Structure 1
C-alpha cells in the first residue's frame, strides 16, 4: 500500500507540473464555483452598489456599441463625469471588449471565471518558487483562488475587487525582476496597468505594499553586492516603466483627486471574534452578514502545522505576514492600531474597510498550507514508510478544503439580488433627477442621473436640472435660439442663432477636457458653457481630455520602449542597466513635457457642506454666537449657530465656525454632545469638517464653516444643551484639553455653545443623527 501511495504522489507531482492538466483542473474548479453566477448571466443585480457600479460598465459599452466612441465621458452618471478619472470605473480595461461583444451583464460571470483561473495559476507559480514543490503549490492554489471575498464581490456588484486575485502575479513578477528578467518588468507593469484600468481602488495600493515587502524579502535572500546592485537597477527600471505604463489611467486619476479629494474618516475596527467569523465561519446561503465574507477553509489551517514544525525558517515570513495582515484587518479595534499607522501614508489615507486585509491574510495562510504539503511530501522521498501516509492525509485535507471553499463560494454567490434587465427605450438623451440606487433603470431609458451615489465628491454643478425640455439652451432666453443637431457621449453639435454675444449652456458638468469649435468653453457654476459670438453658427463640443489622450501616448511609449529592450536582449545585444533605465525614463520625460506644453484649466475644488453652503467664509454671520474656545492643538472654536428649536420636520441645523493656526494631528476630530435636562445624551461626532477636510488638511487662518444637522424626531420634549469638543478620533480616542474660552462654560473638555427646545408637536419617530 505504501508503494502504491508513493506512486500516486509521484503521479500527482507529474500532473501538477503539466500546464495543460493544471489549467484544466483550475478551469473545472472555477466553473463549479461560478455555476450559479453563470446561470444568472444577463440579469440585472438589484443591489444598490451594483446599480451604481454596473451602470458605469453599461455606459462605457453603450459608448462603444451605440456611438462608436471610446468611453471617455460618461454623461449618464452624476450629471456627467470623466470616466477615466473616476476611480471605480473599469471601462478602459481590456475586459470592455468582452462586455461590448456579449453585453456587460453576460460578461461579468465569464470575467469572474477567468479571474479565478488566473488567481489559482498565479498562486501556483508564486508558491512553487517559494516552497519548491509543484504538488504543494497545486494543493494550496484553490485555497487562495476560491476565497469567499471574490464571491461576495460579484454578488454585490464589486467585480473590480476580483483584481485581488492578481496579487500573486505581482509577486512573481517582482521575483523575476530581481533576477534581472525583463519579463518580470512587463508582468509587474502590465498587472498594475490592468488593475488600475479595472477600478482597483484597493488592489492597487495594497498590491504596491506587498510588492515592496516582496522586494525586501528577495533582496535579503540574495548573496553578494553585485547581484543586489543588478537587482536594484532592474527594480528602478520596473518603477519607471510601471508609472509610464499606467499613465493612461494614472494621470486622469491624479487630476480628479486633486480636484475632488476622496476623504475617508472614522475609526473602523473589528474585534477578534467577528474577525475570526469573517475568515473561518461557513457563510449562509442568503443575507448580507459578516460571517464567512472572507471564507478560508478551517481544515486548511491544519496544513500550516507541518510547515511550522518541519520548515520553520521558510514558514517564518508567511506566518509573520499573515499575523500582520490580520492585525491590520482589526483596524482601530487593535491597540496599537497598525491600520491607523498605515492611514497616515499618502493614498492609504482613503482606506475605509480594514477587514479587506483578510485577503492577503488568506494569501499567506495558503502559502503556509503549500509549505506544509511540500514539507510532508519531501519527507516521503527520504523515508517513504514513515511519511507517505501523512502526505496522503495532507493531500486529502487539501482536497476536502477545496470542497468547503466551493460550498462557501456558491453560498456567497446566492446573495446576489438578480432581476430581469429593464427594456431599453430609444429616445434623445436628457438628464433626470434620478435615484442613485436604481441607476440601471435610468440608463435603459437613455436618461442621466443627477442623483450621485459615488464614494468621492464628484464635482457637480448646482445648476443641473432634471426637468428641462431642451438640454442645450442660451443663458439669456431672449438672445436667440439653440437647437441640438447631433448628440453622442463625447461630442455634441448645436445650431446657435445668437442676436448678440451670449453663453450657450449644456445641461452637463463642466470639465477642462471639453473643447469647442466656436467660442470659449467656460464653467458656469460648474455647468458646461460656451461663450458664443453674435450670428448663426454650429457649435461642436468635443471631449478631448489632456490627461486621457496624453496619458495613453505615454503608456504606448512605455510599452514600445520595453519592446525595444526585449528585442535587443533576444538579439544578444542587451543594453547595460544604466542605458535600459534611460530608455524606461523617456516616457516619463515625455509626460512632463506634455504636462507643461499642453496647458489646460485646472478644475479647482469648491468645498461645500452637505447642505450646499460654502466651507469657508470671510466673516461671521450676525446669527453666530461667539465662543472663542482654544484647545491644546492649534484649533479655535470661534462661534456657533444653534437655532431656538427644530424645524417643522424635526431637523435642527447646527453650524460651528472653526479656525486653525498651525499643524494639527490628523487624528483630531469633533465631538458634539446634545444633553437634555434629565441627563440623556445624544451625539454627532464627525472627524471631518463638512465632510471634506480633516483639521490637518484645512486651510489655516481661515474661518471654516462646519454645517450639519440633527433629527430630533422621537426626542424627549424640552431643552437640550449643545456641548462641543475635540478628541483624537483616529488615535487613542482621548479628548483634547480646552485651554481657554471667551466666557463659555467648560465641562469635561466640552464647551457649551447653545440651547434649543424640542416642542411637544414634533412627530414621534425613531431618533437619528445626521452629521
Structure 2
C-alpha cells in the first residue's frame, strides 16, 4: 500500500473512532430507514396485534399525563389488569416519557429510531474490542443494527422486540464486569431492567442466555491468571445487582406467572432452506409472512470465510455461536432439536417461535463480517502487494453498498404496516366517564380513546377475569344488594376510585373491574366477589376510597432503588483509583435481595388466579363425569389416567367435531409429555391428527392440578375429509422429547397395543351436491 493510501486508512480509522461522526452516521442511516414510520407518525395500524399491544402504551400514557399517576393498573383492558404484571406491556420503560411528551402513537417511530442508533453503536463497541479495528466494526454495525426483524416488529405492533438491538450492550457490560468495572455491572443491570420494562418477553431470556455464554468465554480466557478470581467476584456482584435492579418489574411478572402461567405449546420448526430465505431473500414490498423478514445483507456472509481463513482463533467463537443460533432457529425440524432442550428449562418454556434466534445469529455473522473486513484492512496496511489493497477496497465498497441494500430492505418491511388512511390518523378522542364495554380484542385501539374498557380479552396468557364483568351497567360502582342503600361515584382514576355509600345495613360495594390483592380500601374490607372487585362495608354513610397499591410493584421499586443506590456507592468508592468489584461489592449487592426477602416474608398477599377454561369457555375442572361420557379407565406408565371420553357420532352443521377427554393426574409428569389423538379414516384416506401438548390450551400435564377430573375439550374441522367412518385413537407421547410413546394399560391391567386406546368413532357424511 502506498504512503497516501496508508494515511487515508489511518484517517478513516481515526474518524471511525470518534463518537460524534460515528453517531451522526448511525443517526442518518436510521433516519433514512425510519423515514416511512416517521412520516406517518400518529397513524393507527389496523393489524390486530398492534391494536392490542399499543392500547397498553396508550393506557399507560393516559394514566401518566391525564391522571398524574404511575401506570400500575390498566382498567381499559380485560376488565382491568395489573399493568406491571402483564408481560407484553412496555409502560415500565423510560420510553413512556417519550410517549407522554409526543403522544403514544407519535412516539413509536421516534423510539424505533433511537433503538436503531443504540443497536449500531452497541455493536460497534462490542465488535471493536473483538476484531481490534474501528473501521471493521463500523462497517458491520449497520448490518446488525438494521436487521429486518426490527422493521417487521414495528410494522405489526411488536415494538418491544426492538430490545434485541441492545444485546451487544449486554455483552460489552459482561466483559467489563468480569474485569471488575462498576460501569460494566451498571450497564448489564440497566439494560436488563430496561428490557424488562420494555416488554422483552424474548430479548430478556435470550439475552440472559448469551450473557451466560459471554461470561463463560471471558472466564475461560482468564483461566490460570490472577484475574480469574476478580472476574468471579465481578460477575457474581453483577448477577445480584441485575436481579435487584429488575425487581420493580420482575416481581410483578413472577407474581403473574405464579397466578396464571403463560403456556406456549406446539413443535414449530423450519428447514435450513426456509431459514436461509428468511435471512437472505430481499423482502417483498408488502406482506406479513414473506421470507426476508430477518434480512441480513449477503455481503456479511461473503466476509465470513475471509474471517475464518485469516483469523481462525478469533473467528471460532462467533462462528460456533452463529451455528448454534441457526440450529436453535430450526426448532423441532432439527434432529436432535436444541430448541426442544432449551424449552425444558424454566422461563424458556414460554418461547414459541424458534426463528427469532436468527437475530442473535445475525449478531455473530456481523461480528465475523467485521473480523473479515478488519483482517483485509490489516493485510492491506502491512503487505506491499497491491492485491490486498484491492481486496480491502473492494470489501469496503461492498460493505457501504450493503448499507444501502440493508436500508432498502428495512424500508420495505416498514411498508408492511397496514396503516389506516388519513383522516383521522388516530381514533377520535371523547371525554366521558369511564365505563366497561363488551369491547373487541382486535380493535382495542379505539376503546381507550373513548374511555371505555374492553372486557373482550386478547392476551396470550390467561388473565384472571370475573364472569360478573358487565358492559351494559348504568353505573360502574353499585351495591350488590340494591335494597341495602345507594352508591355514587365521586371521582375515578385508574389507580384510585372514590365512592359515596349510604348503607341502611351491612353491604358490599361492587366495582365493575377485576379484583386484585393490590386494591386497598379506606373503609371496610376489600373482597373478591367471583373475581369482581368488592368492598364489605358496615351500615352507615361512608366515603370509600379504593387505591391500587400492589405489594410487588411498590416493594419491587424499593428493591430496585436500593440496587442503584448500591451501584452509585461503589462508583463513588472507586472514583480516582483502581477499585475493582470484589467481596465488598458482593456484600453491597446482597443488601437489596435481603430487603426483598424481608418484604416477601412480612408483606403477604393472596393470589389472583385465573379460572382454567377450555377454548370454548367451558371449565377445565369438573366434579364428575357427565352421563354420556364413555368410560375408558386407561392408566399410563406416568401418573396419568384417561378416565373417559365424549366423541359425537357426526360433526356439527359447520363440519366441526367437538371432542372431550377426561384426564386425572396423580403425580409428577415429565415436562415432555403430551397427548396424541390419531384419527384414521376410510381405506385410502390420510390419517388426521389432533395432537396437543397443552390440556385445553391452559396447562401442560406436568402443571395440571392433581387428583381432580380435568375436562380437555377441543375440536377438529372435517370439512375436507373423506366420507365414512373415522376412529379416535388416544395416548400419551413425549411430544417435547424423543417422540416415543408412554406405555398404557387398560382397565384389566394389560398393556394396550401401540400404547393407545380407541376413545370413540364418528362418521363424516357424504357431501351433497348444490
One of 546, 552, 555 as aligned partner of 2:560: 555
Tell me how far apart the structure 1 counterparts of residues 157 and 409 of structure 2 sit (CA, whole Å). Answer: 18
Tell me how far apart the structure 1 counterparts of residues 297 and 144 of structure 2 sit (CA, whole Å). Answer: 10
Tell me how far apart the structure 2 counterparts of residues 288 and 502 of structure 1 sit (CA, whole Å). Answer: 53
Note if 1:32 corresponds to 2:38.
no
Shift of 1:550: 0.9
- Counterpart in the other structure of 1:257: 257
Shift of 1:679: 6.4
Alpha-carbon distance change, 432 to 759 in structure 1, aligned in 2, over 3 angstroms = farther
1:344-359 pair list within 5 angstroms: 344-359=344-359
Tell me how far apart the structure 1 counterparts of residues 689 and 345 of structure 2 sit (CA, whole Å). Answer: 30
Give the conservation status (yes or no) of the 8 Å contact 1:6–1:388: no
One of 520, 524, 527 as aligned partner of 1:522: 527
- Counterpart in the other structure of 1:113: 113
1:225-244 pair list within 5 angstroms: 225-244=225-244
Shift of 1:602: 2.1
Tell me how far apart the structure 1 counterparts of residues 355 and 448 of structure 2 sit (CA, whole Å). Answer: 33
Shift of 1:180: 0.8
- Counterpart in the other structure of 1:767: none
1:353-372 pair list within 5 angstroms: 353-372=353-372
Give the conservation status (yes or no) of the 8 Å contact 2:634–2:747: yes
Alpha-carbon distance change, 575 to 220 in structure 1, aligned in 2, over 3 angstroms = closer
Give the conservation status (yes or no) of the 8 Å contact 1:128–1:136: yes
Q: Name the SS of the counterpart of 1:696 in structure 2.
A: helix
1:537-686 pair list within 5 angstroms: 537-570=542-575, 572=577, 574=579, 577-646=582-651, 651-677=656-682, 680=685, 681-686=687-692
Note if 1:704 corresponds to 2:710.
yes
Q: What RMSD over aligned residues (CA atoms) do the two structures have, in Å?
A: 2.1
- Counterpart in the other structure of 1:726: 732
1:153-232 pair list within 5 angstroms: 153-232=153-232
Gaps of 5+ in 1: 765-771
Shift of 1:114: 0.6
Shift of 1:202: 0.5
Give the conservation status (yes or no) of the 8 Å contact 2:319–2:368: yes
Tell me how far apart the structure 2 counterparts of residues 167 and 702 of structure 1 sit (CA, whole Å). Answer: 44
Shift of 1:585: 0.8
Give the conservation status (yes or no) of the 8 Å contact 1:318–1:365: yes
1:114-153 pair list within 5 angstroms: 114-153=114-153
Give the conservation status (yes or no) of the 8 Å contact 2:284–2:290: no
- Kindly provide the CA deviation profile for residues 289-330 of structure 1, in whole angstroms up to 9, marking residues without a partner as x: 241110011122111122111100100000011000000000
Give the conservation status (yes or no) of the 8 Å contact 2:85–2:249: yes
Tell me how far apart the structure 2 counterparts of residues 76 and 490 of structure 1 sit (CA, whole Å). Answer: 12
Alpha-carbon distance change, 467 to 720 in structure 1, aligned in 2, over 3 angstroms = farther
- Counterpart in the other structure of 2:515: 510
Tell me how far apart the structure 2 counterparts of residues 198 and 516 of structure 1 sit (CA, whole Å). Answer: 31
Shift of 1:477: 2.1
Shift of 1:652: 3.9
Q: Name the SS of the counterpart of 2:699 in structure 1.
A: coil
- Kindly provide the CA deviation profile for residues 345-375 of structure 1, in whole angstroms up to 9, marking residues without a partner as x: 1110100000000001000000000111111
Alpha-carbon distance change, 710 to 235 in structure 1, aligned in 2, over 3 angstroms = same
Tell me how far apart the structure 2 counterparts of residues 618 and 703 of structure 1 sit (CA, whole Å). Answer: 7
Q: Name the SS of the counterpart of 2:50 in structure 1.
A: helix
Shift of 1:655: 1.7
Give the conservation status (yes or no) of the 8 Å contact 1:713–1:762: no
Tell me how far apart the structure 2 counterparts of residues 574 and 12 of structure 1 sit (CA, whole Å). Answer: 35
Give the conservation status (yes or no) of the 8 Å contact 1:745–1:752: no
TM-score normalised by the chain length of structure 1: 0.95
Tell me how far apart the structure 2 counterparts of residues 623 and 89 of structure 1 sit (CA, whole Å). Answer: 44
Tell me how far apart the structure 1 counterparts of residues 337 and 711 of structure 2 sit (CA, whole Å). Answer: 31
Alpha-carbon distance change, 428 to 715 in structure 1, aligned in 2, over 3 angstroms = farther
Shift of 1:715: 5.6
Note if 1:418 corresponds to 2:426.
no
Q: Name the SS of the counterpart of 1:630 in structure 2.
A: strand
Give the conservation status (yes or no) of the 8 Å contact 1:503–1:531: yes
Tell me how far apart the structure 2 counterparts of residues 133 and 676 of structure 1 sit (CA, whole Å). Answer: 65
Tell me how far apart the structure 1 counterparts of residues 607 and 754 of structure 2 sit (CA, whole Å). Answer: 45
Tell me how far apart the structure 2 counterparts of residues 471 and 267 of structure 1 sit (CA, whole Å). Answer: 44
| More moved, 52-61 vs 437-446 | 437-446
- Counterpart in the other structure of 1:405: 406
Give the conservation status (yes or no) of the 8 Å contact 1:642–1:653: yes
Shift of 1:433: 1.1
- Counterpart in the other structure of 1:75: 75
| More moved, 634-643 vs 442-451 | 634-643
- Counterpart in the other structure of 1:447: 452
Note if 1:501 corresponds to 2:506.
yes
Note if 1:302 corresponds to 2:307.
no
| More moved, 697-706 vs 195-204 | 697-706
Tell me how far apart the structure 1 counterparts of residues 156 and 561 of structure 2 sit (CA, whole Å). Answer: 34
- Counterpart in the other structure of 2:495: 490
Tell me how far apart the structure 2 counterparts of residues 452 and 326 of structure 1 sit (CA, whole Å). Answer: 35
Alpha-carbon distance change, 761 to 520 in structure 1, aligned in 2, over 3 angstroms = farther
Tell me how far apart the structure 2 counterparts of residues 439 and 146 of structure 1 sit (CA, whole Å). Answer: 30
Number of matched residues? 764
Give the conservation status (yes or no) of the 8 Å contact 2:743–2:751: no
Give the conservation status (yes or no) of the 8 Å contact 1:277–1:290: no
Tell me how far apart the structure 2 counterparts of residues 711 and 114 of structure 1 sit (CA, whole Å). Answer: 46
Shift of 1:677: 5.0
Give the conservation status (yes or no) of the 8 Å contact 1:300–1:397: no
- Counterpart in the other structure of 2:757: 751
- Counterpart in the other structure of 1:343: 343
- Counterpart in the other structure of 1:456: 461
TM-score normalised by the chain length of structure 2: 0.95
Shift of 1:45: 1.1
Give the conservation status (yes or no) of the 8 Å contact 1:720–1:756: yes
Q: Name the SS of the counterpart of 2:439 in structure 1.
A: coil
Q: Name the SS of the counterpart of 1:91 in structure 2.
A: coil
Tell me how far apart the structure 2 counterparts of residues 507 and 720 of structure 1 sit (CA, whole Å). Answer: 47
Shift of 1:3: 4.3
- Kindly provide the CA deviation profile for residues 675-732 of structure 1, in whole angstroms up to 9, marking residues without a partner as x: 4455644432211112122122223433222122344556666654332222222233
Tell me how far apart the structure 2 counterparts of residues 336 and 683 of structure 1 sit (CA, whole Å). Answer: 23
| More moved, 635-644 vs 227-236 | 635-644
Give the conservation status (yes or no) of the 8 Å contact 1:667–1:730: yes
Shift of 1:663: 3.2
| More moved, 739-748 vs 716-725 | 739-748
Alpha-carbon distance change, 709 to 305 in structure 1, aligned in 2, over 3 angstroms = closer
1:359-398 pair list within 5 angstroms: 359-386=359-386, 387-398=388-399
Gaps of 5+ in 2: none
Q: Name the SS of the counterpart of 1:444 in structure 2.
A: coil
